[in-house]
Structure 1
Amino acid sequence: MVVTSPLKGQSHSHSFTKFLPYALYALLPIALFRLYFHPFPFPQSTTDQLSHNSRIILTTSSSSSSSPPLSFSKEEEIANETPCDYANGGWVHDKMGPLYNGTTCGTIKDGQNCISHGRPDLGYLYWRWQPSQCKLPRFDPNTFFHLLSNKHIAFVGDSMARNQLESLLCMLATASYPNLVYKDGVDTKFRRWHFASYNITISVYWSPFLVRGVEKSKTGPDHNELFVDTVDARWGADLDHIDMIVLSTGHWFLHPAVYYEGGSILGCHYCPGLNHTEIGFYGVMRKAIKTALETIIERKGANGNGIDVLLTTFSPSHFEGEWDQAGACPKTKPYKEGEKMLEGMDADMRAIEVEEMETAKVNAKQFGGLRLEMLDVTKLSLMRPDGHPGPYMYPFPFANEVQERVQNDCVHWCLPGPIDTWNQILLEVIRRWSIQSRREE
C-alpha cells in the first residue's frame, strides 16, 4: 500500500525528516532544565494513588497492626552481617544528583532553600558519601515507608534536628506527599505530619538542650537556664506515643547559660557579673544527653513498649570569616580525605555523644525492645564546607550589588544538600535492624 504524504514535494519531506532528530536533541536539555527547576506538581489525589500503588507490593493496610517482612536478597543478608562503618569514607562525584529540588516538597525552611534563593553554583548537589569498606545505597522512600508503617517518628533537638527532618520529608515526598496535621500556632518549632497511606507520623520537637531549659529573651535574663536532671516536658509528655526518636543537640551549649541540678545552681558558662562558678559546657552537655537517654530507656523499657533511639552526632560549622562578612563560608567543593582533620571542639562534642550512647546501650540490655544507635555524621559533615547556605539564607543577596556586610549561615545545610546523607544512613540503620529482627524470630 502506498501512502501519500500530506506535504507537497518529497524534497521538503526529506528535509524535515533529516533535521527532526537535531531539533529533538536541541530541545531535550531545555526540557530537562525546565523539569528540574520547575517540576510539574502532582495533584494530591495523583500522589496518593501513586503511593498506594507502590504500597500494594511493599506493605499491608495501615489499619493492620503489623506489616509483612521485606524480601531481602541473600547478598543483602550477607552484606548486613557485619555492621558498616558509615563514619569513614570520602565524597565522590555523583551525576544523578539529589532526589528532590527546592520546589517539590514545600517543607524546606526558607533560609535553607539555596536553589530558590539564587545560589549560582550547583556543583554541591552532585556528590555522594562513599564509606571506605561498604556501600551506602541511594535513599528509597518506599523502603522507609514499609519499615516504619504504623509508627510515630520524632526528631527532638535543635535546628539541626529540624534541618534533618525537613530533608527526610523532602525525600519521602518524592513517593507520597506529607500532610501537615499539627502546627504550634505561627511557630514552626513543633509540627507533625502524617502519611495516611502508611499510617506514619513524623514530628519535630524544638528542644535545643534535650533537658528542661529556659531560653534567654529580651524581657528576661540574657543567658539560658538549664535544668540538667529533667528532660524537656514537651517531648517527655509524648514519649509513650513515640516509636522512634532521633536526638540532635550541640550548638546551643555554646551560648551563655546558668546550670541547675537537684534544685541548686551547678555553675555557669560565660556568665560575667554573676556570682557563679564557671564550669564550661562540656560536662553539662554530657549530663543533658545522659539524662535524655536514661529517661527514654527507663520509661520505655519499664512499660515494655520498647523504642528505637538514634543520636545524631555534632555537625561542625564552617565559618572562615566573620558571620556578617561576604565569603564567610566560600568553599564550593568538599574537602578531600586528609585535607581537613576532625579535632578540637568538633572532636570533643562527638566524643561525648559517642561515649554516652555506648553507656546507654549497656544500660538498655536489661530491658527488651530497645534498640540504640549513633548516626555518626560529624566527619562526613566536616568535609562538606560547600554545603551551607552562606549568604543565600536570604533571596538573591547580591541582586543589586556585592554587599560588604551580609549575614551568612555556615551552620545549617542547603536542601537538597549534604544533610540528605544523614537520612540515607538513618534508613540503612533501620534496614539492618529489620534484618536482625527477622533472624531472631
Structure 2
Amino acid sequence: MAMVVELSEQSCNFFQGSWVYDESYPLYDSSSCPFVEPEFDCQKYGRPDKLYLKYRWQPSGCDLPRFNGQDFLLKWRGKKIMKDTLSTLRFEDYGVTIMYYRTTYLVDIVSEKIGRVLKLDSIEGGSAWLGADLLIFNSWHWWTHKGSSQPWDYVQEGDQIYKDMDRLIAFSKGLATWGRWVDTNINSATTKVFFQGISPTHYQGQDWGGSSSKSCYKETQPVSGSTYPAGSLPQQAIVRSVLSNISKPVYLLDITLLSQLRKDAHPSAYSGEHAGNDCSHWCVAGLPDTWNMILYAALS
C-alpha cells in the first residue's frame, strides 16, 4: 500500500498551499553553516537578491511546524537515518547517526567489458541501506542525463542489453526493482521508509505562464497561488504507481507541486561548481528547508 504522509492533523494536507512572504525568514544564515555545498550556496557565489529567502510555505488548512533540531535528535536518540548521498554526520551526545548514501539510480551500475552497464533489475547496492531506522529515498534527477554527464554506457534488463531506452520507461523499471527490494528487505516494525517526490526544473518559461525564452535566471518571486500552469509531471504518476504495488508502508513526501511554484529558488548563474544556468538544483537556505520541515512534521 502506498501512503502519503499521515500527520497528526489528519484534515491538513501539507502538500497543498501557497508561498507567502514572511519577514522572519530565512530561519538561519547560510554563511554560518559549514554543511552547505558550493553548488547550492547562492549568496556566497554572488546572487544579488534576497527576496527568494523570504517566502514560507503555507498549507491551505493548517500551519507547518518549524524544524526543531534538538527535538528531532531527542526523538531519534540512538537511531540511524540514511539518505541518498554518501557522507556521515554523527551527533554523539544523542547517539544519532545521519548517513548519506549516493546512489543516483537506486539500481546498480556495474563496470563490465563492454563498459558501464545500468542494470534495471539489480540492486545489490541496497545492502548498504540495511539496519537503518529511517530510510529516505529519491530518484529521477539523473535519469535524464545524457552525453558526458551520463554515468553509464548501456542499459540491461534481464538478458537484454540496450544502448539506450526511453528514460521514463527505464525509470519505471528501475523504481519497480527498488519497490521489490523494499518488500523483500524492510521490516516495517523497525524501519520507516520515505520516498521524496520528484524535484522539478524550471528551464521553460511557458511552464509557469512566462515566455518560451525565459528560464529561472533572474526570477525573484514564486508562482502565485496554489496551482502550477503546466500541471503535474509524468514521473509523478510512475512514482505513485510503483508505490501502490509495494505491500510494505512507504510514505510519499509529495513535494513536487510546492517546488514547481518556486521558479525563483534555483542557483541559476550563482553556483560554486555548476557552469552556466542551473535551474534544477536549489539554493540553500531555501526550498529544501521546507522539504525538511515537512519530513520533521511527518515524523513528529
TM-score range, shorter chain: 0.7 to 0.9
1:374 is aligned to 252
Quote the residue 1:204 is aligned against: 100
User: Which residue of the partner structure matches residue 286 of structure 2?
Assistant: 417
Shift in alpha-carbon separation, 1:258–1:81, aligned structure 2, 3 A: same
Contact 2:216 2:263 in 1 (8 A): no
- Within the candidate set 277, 282, 303, 2:168 is matched to 282
* Alignment CA distance shift 1:387-1:341 (3 Å): same
- Provide the C-alpha distance between the structure 1 equivalents of 2:28 and 2:269, rounded to a whole number of angstroms: 22
Q: 1:211-222 counterparts in 2 under 5 A?
A: 211-214=107-110
Unmatched tracts of structure 1, length 5 or more: 1-78, 157-161, 163-189, 270-278, 365-370, 398-405, 432-441
> 264, 285, 289: which is aligned to 1:386?
264
Report the AA paired with residue 306 of structure 1.
T
Counterparts of 1:338 and 1:139, CA distance in 2:
23
Residue 185 of structure 1: aligned partner = none
Q: Tell me, which stretches of 5 or more residues in structure 2 are unaligned? A: 1-6, 147-152, 206-212
Find the counterpart in structure 2 of residue 86 from structure 1.
14
Confirm or deny that 1:238 pairs with 2:134: no
Aligned partner of residue 31 in structure 2, secondary structure? coil
Asked whether the equivalents of residues 133 and 191 of structure 2 are also in contact (C-alpha less than 8 Å), the reply is yes
Partner of 1:229: 121
* Partner-residue secondary structure (3-state), 1:420: helix
**Are the counterparts in 2 of residues 91 and 130 from structure 1 also a CA contact under 8 Å?**
yes
C-alpha separation in 2, matches of 1:338 and 1:132: 9
- Cα distance in 1, alignment partners of residues 65 and 118 from structure 2: 40
Same amino acid, percent of matched pairs: 29
Distance, in Å, in 2 between the alignment partners of 1:213 and 1:415 is 30
What is the alpha-carbon distance in structure 2 between the residues aligned to residue 335 and residue 241 of structure 1? 41
What displacement does 1:243 show? 1.2
State the shift of 1:310 in Å: 0.6
Is 1:250 matched up with 2:175? Answer: no
Q: Distance in 2 between matches of 1:387 and 1:359?
A: 34
SS in 2 for 1:393: coil
Aligned to 1:351: 237
d(CA) in 2 for partners of 1:225 and 1:143? 43
Whichever of the two has the greater Rg, that structure is 1
- Pairing 1:151–2:84 present: no
How many angstroms does 1:109 deviate by? 0.8
State the structure with bigger RCO (CA 8 A, min sep 6), 1 or 2.
2
Distance 1:338 1:89 in 2: 5
Q: CA deviation at 1:283?
A: 2.1
> CA 1:331–1:118 in 2, change beyond 3 Å: closer, same or farther?
same
The DSSP-based 3-state class of the residue aligned with 1:306 is coil
Q: Distance in 2 between matches of 1:342 and 1:101?
A: 33
Instruction: Map Cα deviations across residues 249-276 of structure 1 (whole Å, 9 max, x no partner).
Output: 10211134632122332x453xxxxxxx
Q: Is the 8 A contact 1:213 1:227 kept in 2?
A: yes
Equivalent in the alignment of 2:194: 310
Task: Tell me how far apart the structure 2 counterparts of residues 88 and 114 of structure 1 sit (CA, whole Å).
Answer: 27
Distance in 2 of aligned mates of 1:195 and 1:245: 18
Q: Compared with structure 1, are the counterparts of its residues 426 and 413 closer, same or farther at alpha carbon in structure 2 (3 Å cutoff)?
A: same
Q: Is the 8 A contact 2:265 2:282 kept in 1?
A: yes
Task: Show CA shifts across 1:282-335 (max 9, x none).
Answer: 12212212211321231123xx763111111111111248xxx99752210000
Q: CA deviation at 1:239?
A: 2.5
Shift of 1:248: 1.0
Q: Is the 8 A contact 2:16 2:226 kept in 1?
A: no
Q: Deviations over 1:150-173 (max 9, x none)?
A: 1111112xxxxx5xxxxxxxxxxx
Aligned-partner Cα distance in 1 for 2:277–2:124:
30
Structure 1 CA distance, aligned partners of 2:186 and 2:79? 15
Q: Distance in 2 between matches of 1:356 and 1:83?
A: 26
- Residues 1:426 and 2:290 aligned together: no
CA RMSD after TM alignment? 2.7
Measure the CA separation in 2 of the matches of 1:83 and 1:110: 39
Does the CA contact (< 8 Å) of 1:243 and 1:306 recur in 2?
A: yes
Residue identity matched to 2:82: A
Matched, 1:130 2:8: no
- Structure 1 residue matching 2:108: 3-state secondary structure: strand
Question: Match of 1:392, SS?
Answer: coil
What code does the residue aligned with 2:127 have?
A
8 Å CA contact retained: 2:19, 2:58 = yes
Q: How many residues align?
A: 280
SS class of match (1:206): coil
Q: 1:348 to 1:268 in 2, by over 3 A?
A: farther
Residue 284 of structure 1 aligns to a residue in which SS?
A: helix
User: How many Å separate the matches in 2 of 1:146 and 1:305?
Assistant: 20
Alignment-derived partner of residue 292 in structure 1: 178
Deviation at 1:341? 2.5
C-alpha distance in 2, partners of 1:372/1:320?
32
For 1:326 and 1:88, the matched residues in 2 are separated by 26
Please say if 1:119 is aligned against 2:47: yes
The answer on whether the counterparts of 2:136 and 2:195 sit within 8 Å (CA) in structure 1 is yes
Picking from 59, 70, 81, the partner of 1:142 is 70
